[in-house]
């Protein structure tokens, strides 16, 4: 069961004390996210995925994040 979709294109997130993107489902079901031409620079964690997340990442930069560039905990990613 799909519960939602997220499409982020041509976006820069930088210089912040939290995660650039955190994608997880609070309910049963799947969140499908597409991140294309995204830059996440100098955050705590660049991109975090939790349970119920299916993420497609393309043509993107995840750099200089202090804890993790990409953190997966129960979700999945296609790079």
What digits encode the pLDDT tens for the residues 18-42? 999 999 887 778 899 999 999 999 9
Burial class for 46, CB neighbours closer than 10 Å (0-12, 13-18, 19+): buried
- pLDDT tens across 32-77, in order? 999 999 999 999 999 999 888 989 999 999 999 999 999 888 777 7
User: Could you give the residue ranges of the DSSP H alpha helices within the chain?
Assistant: none
Separation of alpha carbons 15 and 73, rounded Å: 24
Burial class for 8, CB neighbours closer than 10 Å (0-12, 13-18, 19+): middle
The yes-or-no verdict on residue 1 having pLDDT over 70 is no
CB 19 within 8 A of CB 44: yes
The pLDDT value recorded for residue 2 is 62
pTM score, two decimals?
Answer: 0.85
């Amino acid at each position: 069961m799909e519960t939602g979709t997220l499409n982020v294109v041509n976006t820069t997130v930088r210089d912040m004390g939290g995660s650039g993107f955190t994608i997880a489902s609070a309910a049963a079901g799947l969140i499908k996210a597409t991140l294309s031409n995204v830059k996440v620079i100098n955050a705590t964690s660049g991109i975090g995925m939790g349970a119920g997340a299916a993420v497609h990442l393309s043509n993107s930069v995840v750099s200089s994040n202090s804890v993790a560039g990409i953190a997966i905990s129960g979700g999945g990613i296609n790079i």
